[in-house]
């Protein structure tokens, strides 16, 4: 049951809908069923604190096969 974004060609409304298998989707404004499914981009997770530190110690052992620290 994925969440999809849709655009209505009749009234130009955009909306999200939770769609179950085989379920018909209609515009919440004009009840049009001829909709365009849009490409949804996932939201970036919010963080409360600072970002993780990106430190690199060149004297540390390599992290595994194919590691770029060799």
CA angle (48, 44, 56) in 5-degree steps: 70
Largest CA distance in the chain: 65
**Confidence at residue 68, expressed as pLDDT on a 0 to 100 scale:** 59
pTM of the model: 0.54
26 neighbors 19 (Cβ within 8 angstroms): no
Q: Which two tokens stand for residue 53?
A: 């530190």
Please indicate, yes or no, if residue 62 is contained in any of the structural domains: no
Per the structure, the complete domain to which residue 22 belongs is given by: 3-38
Per-residue tens of pLDDT for the chain, all 70 residues? 578 899 999 999 999 998 888 889 999 999 999 999 998 777 677 666 666 655 666 677 666 655 655 4
Number of domains in the chain: 1
Please indicate, yes or no, if residue 65 is contained in any of the structural domains: no
Please indicate, yes or no, if residue 53 is contained in any of the structural domains: no
């Amino acid at each position: 049951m994925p969440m999809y974004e849709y655009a209505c060609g009749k009234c130009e409304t955009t909306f999200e809908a939770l769609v179950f298998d085989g379920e018909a989707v209609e515009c919440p404004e004009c009840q049009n069923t001829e909709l365009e499914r849009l490409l949804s981009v996932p939201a970036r997770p919010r963080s409360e604190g600072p970002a993780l530190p990106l430190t690199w110690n060149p004297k540390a052992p390599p992290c595994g096969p194919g590691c770029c620290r060799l």
